């Protein structure tokens, strides 16, 4: 009888142990899923990223802007840009055609009177693209001493990384790019400046 009671108690302990082990695995799996989803950006488009920044502009900071490419042009707000227009992207945004394969979307906000006064663009990176290498490639192409600028060269060039999924490039007059930087770092979670260059002339 004593042997049966011991066997019965051991069986109960094993069942409890298996249930606890099973719960631990479930919890671990849940944590892993949460960790993966937390790595995903909360922003759904490049246009949304720029719009969040523009929403923070005070009235005295605003200037006339346009968004989008030549065929999808809007005034007074950022807009999506057709990334198949590689020549236009290079001419307007300083975006190298060699990097097109690394993005799947873009958006812009550009000073309507002079693009060199302010040009901002947001790019959504494809999965697995090294954001820092991507940013460096754009800097070397755009901020090159060999690049010819129409209507005056910009003072500054800047790259802001957002959630490791979005890269924002900005060039223009320093007082205007500084306002954009301040608003971007305030408006966008996970935003950080990874490149900031000032012209030496």
Please count the structural domains in the chain: 2
**CB-CB neighbours of 174 under 10 Å:** 13
Residues 114 and 147 in one domain: yes
Judge if 45 and 56 occupy the same domain: yes
Give how far Cα 105 sits from Cα of 34, 35, 120, 167, 186, Å.
26, 25, 14, 11, 23
CA 162 to chain centre: 4
**18 and 96 co-located in one domain:** no
Tens of pLDDT along 107-132?
999 999 999 999 999 999 999 999 99
Looking at the structure, tell me whether residues 44 and 9 fall in a common domain: no
- pTM greater than 0.75: yes
Together in a domain, 152 and 190: yes
Q: Are residue 58 and residue 153 in the same domain, yes or no?
A: yes
> Would you say 51 and 173 are in contact if contact means Cβ atoms under 8 Å apart?
no
- DSSP annotation of 102 reads G
- Do 118 and 99 fall within a single domain? yes
Same domain, 33 and 49: no
- Tell me which residue range forms the domain holding 56: 40-198
- In this structure, are 184 and 112 located in the same domain? yes
Q: Mark whether 56 and 152 lie in a shared domain.
A: yes
- Cα-to-chain-centroid distance, residue 40: 11
| 27 and 108 both lie in a single domain | no
User: d(Cα 114, Cα 118) in Å, to the nearest integer?
Assistant: 7
pLDDT tens for each residue of 25-75: 444 433 333 333 346 789 999 999 999 999 999 999 999 999 999 999 899
Do 165 and 129 meet the contact criterion of CB atoms below 8 Å apart?
no
Angle at the Cα of 50 (from 195 to 54), degrees rounded to 5? 110
């Amino acid at each position: 009888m004593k042997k049966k009671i011991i066997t019965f108690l051991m069986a109960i302990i094993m069942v409890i142990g298996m249930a606890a082990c099973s719960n631990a695995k479930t919890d671990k799996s849940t944590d892993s899923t949460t960790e993966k989803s937390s790595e995903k950006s909360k922003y759904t488009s490049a246009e949304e990223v720029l719009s969040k920044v523009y929403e923070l502009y005070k009235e005295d900071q605003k200037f006339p802007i346009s968004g989008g490419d030549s065929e999808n042009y809007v005034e007074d707000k950022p807009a999506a840009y057709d990334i198949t227009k590689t020549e236009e992207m290079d001419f307007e945004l300083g975006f190298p055609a060699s990097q097109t394969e690394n993005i799947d979307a873009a958006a812009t906000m550009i000073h309507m009177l002079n693009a060199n006064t302010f040009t901002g663009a947001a790019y959504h990176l494809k999965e697995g693209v090294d954001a820092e290498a991507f940013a460096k490639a754009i800097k070397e192409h755009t901020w090159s001493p060999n690049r010819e600028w129409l209507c005056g060269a910009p003072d500054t060039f800047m790259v802001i990384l957002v959630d490791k999924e979005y890269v924002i490039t900005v060039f223009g007059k320093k007082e205007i790019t500084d306002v954009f930087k301040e608003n971007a770092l305030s408006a966008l979670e996970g935003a950080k400046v990874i490149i900031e260059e000032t012209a030496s002339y």
